[in-house]
Copies of this chain bind each other. A is one copy, B any other.
């Protein structure tokens, strides 16, 4: 089967054939929805809008950033984005390498680049996001990342 074909699923005895595109390739709509959410996240960071960023996470979402405890829920996630914006992050670029969709849950593996407002390089690394489909579209539910760059201090 083509690599983009995803398992359909049945929940509680009911067939749920969501995201079966007309051409028979499953999850095309889901991929587009998640791509839109990633683009909105990048736009929120670029405009320094922590509220817009946090709105892309589930209510009980977790942002698991390096060198800090997990930020759980919108208030904690907003604070983390505000800190990132105040630290001078001007842009976040996301490259999605893998996406698998299982009904209302998906996981994504990708890479990120953070730049300052003047375009200078701040950080780059990798991430995994567990997505949940909500009434308001796909939302980041578990978001973990870390840097590819050597740690300050040589550790």
Contacts and interface: CB of A to CB of B under 8 A. Distances in A.
Interface of A: 1, 7-12, 15, 62, 64-70, 98, 100, 102-103, 105, 107, 109, 126-128, 130, 142, 144-155
- The oligomer's copy count stands at 2
A10 B12 contact: no
Given A8-B10, A127-B144, A128-B142, A149 B105 contact: no
Given A126-B70, A128-B130, A145 B146 contact: yes
Contacts of A149: 67
B130 A7 contact: no
Nearest to A65: B146
A66 B151 contact: yes
Contacts of A130: 107, 109, 128
Contacts of A155: 67, 151-152
Contact of A64 (B100, B146, B153): B146
Contact of A10 (B7, B67, B153): B7
